[in-house]
């Protein structure tokens, strides 16, 4: 019992430190933008902005969505069947909820795209915008997700002139109580 008393005496101090200095939310951490694409560890704090693109907060994203006219792209990867799941086992991935009217382009936010995936992504952008590179395009996934940052950067490189990056993605959207709908991957994904 005597050994427990020093440890128990530390609990109030540890509790006070935890309450007095809460960890900053991940989405407020500032990290520098890389020169190129983020190539891995996609679920990590992101930069505050993407040079050449407008960064949207949730009120700005909601206003743009209400206004209409922008093409919205969710680039979160689709859930994959767990490795080692026995053959014939039932597996139901959680449905992807996104901003209503979005086109879901799983895997399009990777740092490196194989030629088939890159062609599919480019084609989806062209079809969704009618080839109008001045039409607003919005890329999102989740908060602290580099996939949308990469996809928006790629669209800028392909000549889209009104690129928006919704940094907080569906995490911010759902936290604000905004409507969602179940998304299906866009057709033709390689």
Cα angle 133, 168, 52; round to 5: 35
Cβ–Cβ < 8 Å for 58, 173:
yes
At residue 8, the pLDDT reads: 39
What pLDDT is recorded for position 29?
62
Alpha carbon distance 138, 68 (integer Å) = 12
Give the domains, in start order, of the chain with CATH numbers. 54-77+96-190 (3.40.250.10)
Query: Residue 108, Cβ neighbours under 10 Å: how many?
Result: 30
Judge contact between 168 and 143, C-beta under 8 A. Answer: yes
Taking alpha carbons only, the member of 33, 37, 186 closest to residue 117 is: 186
Q: What is the pLDDT of residue 10?
A: 35
Q: Are 93 and 78 in contact (CB under 8 A)?
A: yes
Q: Whole-angstrom Cα distance, residue 188 to residue 121?
A: 10
Model-level pTM? 0.80
Q: Residue 98: beta bridge partners?
A: 181
Interatomic CA distance for residues 143 and 62, integer angstroms = 16
Say what the pLDDT of residue 109 is.
94
pLDDT in 10s for each residue of the chain, 190 residues: 444 334 334 333 333 333 333 333 344 567 888 788 887 878 888 999 999 999 999 999 999 999 999 999 999 988 777 788 788 887 677 889 999 999 999 999 998 999 999 999 999 999 999 999 999 999 999 999 999 999 999 999 999 999 999 999 999 999 999 999 999 999 988 8
Amino acid 18: pLDDT: 32
């Amino acid at each position: 019992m005597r050994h427990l008393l020093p440890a128990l005496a530390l609990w109030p101090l540890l509790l006070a430190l935890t309450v007095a200095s809460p960890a900053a939310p991940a989405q407020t951490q500032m990290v520098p933008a890389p020169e190129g694409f983020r190539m891995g560890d996609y679920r990590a704090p992101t930069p505050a902005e993407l040079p050449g693109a407008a960064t949207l907060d949730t009120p700005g994203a909601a206003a743009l969505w209400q206004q209409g006219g922008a093409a919205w792209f969710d680039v979160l990867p689709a859930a994959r069947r767990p490795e080692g799941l026995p053959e014939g086992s039932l597996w139901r991935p959680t449905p992807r909820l996104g901003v209503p009217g979005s086109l879901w382009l799983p895997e399009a936010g990777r740092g490196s795209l194989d030629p088939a995936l890159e062609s599919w992504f480019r084609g989806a952008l062209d079809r969704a915008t009618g080839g109008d590179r001045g039409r607003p395009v919005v890329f999102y996934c989740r908060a602290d997700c580099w996939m949308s940052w990469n996809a928006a950067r790629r669209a800028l490189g392909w000549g889209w002139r009104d690129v928006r990056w919704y940094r907080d993605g569906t995490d911010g959207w759902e936290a604000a109580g905004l409507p969602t709908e179940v998304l299906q991957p866009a057709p033709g994904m390689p």
